[in-house]
A and B are shown apart, each in its own frame.
Chain A
Amino acid sequence: MASSITREWVGLKTFAPATQTKLVELLGRLEEKNVDKLTILVMGKSGVGKSSTVNSIIGERAVTINPFQSEGLRPAMVSRTRTGFTINIIDTPGLIEGGYINDQALEIIKHFLLNKTIDILLYVDRLDTYRVDSLDKLVVRAITDSFGKEIWKRALIVLTHAQLSPPDGIPYDEFVSKRSEALLKVVRQGARLRKDDPVVSSIHFVLVENSGRCNKNESDEKVLPNGTAWIPNLVEKITEVTTRSNKSIYVDKKLIEGPNPNQRGKIFIPILFALQYFFVIKPIERAIKNDVANEAKPLWAIREAKRRF
Chain B
Amino acid sequence: MNSSFTANHLITTPTLPPPCRTSSYLKCQLPSSSSSDHTKDHSNSTLIKTLSTTFALSSAASIVVFSTSPLRSLLPDASGHFSSGSGGNAGNGGNTGGGGGGGGGGWFGDDGSFWSRLFCLSPAIAADESPSPEWDSHGLPANIVVQLNKLSGFKKYKISDISFFDRSRRVRINAPDDSFFELVSLRPGGVYTKSQLQKEVKTLASCGMFEKVDMEGKTNPDGTISLTIAFTESTWQSAEKFRCINVGLMAQSKPIEMDPDVTDKERLEYYRSRERNYKRRMERARPCLLPMSVHREIADMLRSQGAVSARLLQRIRDHVQKWYHDEGYACAQVVNFGNLNTQEVVCEVVEGDITQLTIMFLDKLGNVVEGNTQIPVVQRELPRQLRPGYVFNIEAAKQALRNINSSLALFSKIEVNPKPDEKSEGGIIVEIKLKELDQKTAEVSTEWSIVPGRGGRPTLASLQPGGTVTFEHRNLQGLNRSVSGSVTTSNFFNPQDDLAFKLEYAHPYLDGVYDPRNRTLRVSCFNSRKQSPVFTGGPEVDEVPPIWVDRAGLKANITENFTRQSKFTYGLVMEEITTCDKSSHICASGQRVLPSGEIADGPPTTLSGTGIDRMAFLQANITRDNTKFVNGAIVGERNVFQVDQGLGIGSNVPFFNRHQLTITRFIQLMQVEKAAGKPPPPVVVLHGHYAGCVGDLPSYDAFPLGGPYSVRGYNMGELGAARNILELAAELRVPVKGTHAYAFVEHGNDLGSSKDVKGNPTEVYRRMGHGSSYGVGLKLGLVRTEYAVDHNSGTGAVFFRFGERF
The chain A residues found within 8 Å of chain B, CB to CB, are: 97-100, 102-104, 258, 261-262, 264-266, 268-269, 272-273, 276, 280-281, 284-285, 287-289, 291-292, 295, 298-301, 303-304, 306-309
Against A, the Cβ 8 Å flags (1 = close, 0 = not) of B586-628 are 0000000011100010000001000000000000101010100
Min CB gap A188→B, angstroms: 22
Assembled-state Cα–Cα distance A265/B246 (Å): 70
Min CB gap A89→B, angstroms: 27
Task: Give the number of residues in B that approach A within 8 Å (Cβ atoms).
Answer: 49
Asked whether B568 lies within 8 Å of A285 as measured between CB atoms, the reply is yes
Q: Does B396 contact A (CB under 8 A)?
A: yes
Asked whether B393 lies within 8 Å of A300 as measured between CB atoms, the reply is yes
Assembled-state Cα–Cα distance A285/B569 (Å): 12
The chain B residues found within 8 Å of chain A, CB to CB, are: 249, 286, 289, 327-329, 353, 383, 385, 388-391, 393, 395-396, 562-563, 566, 568, 594-596, 600, 607, 620, 622, 624, 626, 639, 641, 643, 645-646, 655-657, 659, 661, 694-697, 723, 755-758, 764
Given A285-B568, A291-B626, CB of A307 within 8 Å of CB of B389? yes
Assembled-state Cα–Cα distance A102/B659 (Å): 35
**Residues from chain B with Cβ under 8 Å of A103 in the complex:** 764
Assembled-state Cα–Cα distance A150/B42 (Å): 83
Asked whether A309 lies within 8 Å of B643 as measured between CB atoms, the reply is no
Asked whether A292 lies within 8 Å of B328 as measured between CB atoms, the reply is no
11 contacts between A and B (CB under 8 A): A104-B594, A261-B758, A272-B657, A276-B641, A281-B568, A284-B624, A288-B563, A291-B566, A291-B624, A300-B328, A301-B395
Q: Name the CB-closest residue of B to A291.
A: B626
Given A281-B641, A288-B566, A300-B385, CB of A261 within 8 Å of CB of B622? no
**Residues from chain B with Cβ under 8 Å of A268 in the complex:** 694
Asked whether B694 lies within 8 Å of A97 as measured between CB atoms, the reply is no
Assembled-state Cα–Cα distance A273/B657 (Å): 7
Min CB gap A195→B, angstroms: 24
Asked whether A261 lies within 8 Å of B391 as measured between CB atoms, the reply is no
Given A262-B696, A299-B327, CB of A292 within 8 Å of CB of B390? no
Asked whether A285 lies within 8 Å of B622 as measured between CB atoms, the reply is yes
**In the complex, the 7 A-B pairs of residues with the closest C-beta atoms, listed nearest first:** A98-B595, A261-B756, A308-B389, A288-B566, A300-B393, A265-B694, A262-B696
Asked whether B562 lies within 8 Å of A309 as measured between CB atoms, the reply is no
Q: Name the CB-closest residue of A to B645.
A: A273
Q: Which has the most chain B C-beta neighbours within 10 Å: A100, A104, A307?
A: A307
Assembled-state Cα–Cα distance A53/B756 (Å): 37
Given A261-B758, A268-B694, A291-B566, CB of A309 within 8 Å of CB of B353? yes
**Residues from chain B with Cβ under 8 Å of A100 in the complex:** 595
Asked whether B723 lies within 8 Å of A261 as measured between CB atoms, the reply is yes
Asked whether B289 lies within 8 Å of A304 as measured between CB atoms, the reply is yes
**Residues from chain A with Cβ under 8 Å of B396 in the complex:** 300-301
Asked whether B249 lies within 8 Å of A309 as measured between CB atoms, the reply is yes
**Residues from chain A with Cβ under 8 Å of B383 in the complex:** 301
Assembled-state Cα–Cα distance A258/B657 (Å): 22
**Residues from chain A with Cβ under 8 Å of B393 in the complex:** 300
Assembled-state Cα–Cα distance A258/B607 (Å): 17
List 6 extra interface pairs beyond A97-B594, A281-B622, CB under 8 A. A104-B600, A266-B695, A272-B657, A284-B622, A288-B562, A292-B566
**Residues from chain B with Cβ under 8 Å of A280 in the complex:** 641, 661
Q: Name the CB-closest residue of A to B560.
A: A285
Asked whether A301 lies within 8 Å of B594 as measured between CB atoms, the reply is no
**Residues from chain A with Cβ under 8 Å of B757 in the complex:** 261
Min CB gap B91→A, angstroms: 15
Assembled-state Cα–Cα distance A238/B719 (Å): 45
Asked whether A276 lies within 8 Å of B695 as measured between CB atoms, the reply is no
Assembled-state Cα–Cα distance A285/B626 (Å): 13
**Residues from chain B with Cβ under 8 Å of A289 in the complex:** 562
Min CB gap B332→A, angstroms: 12
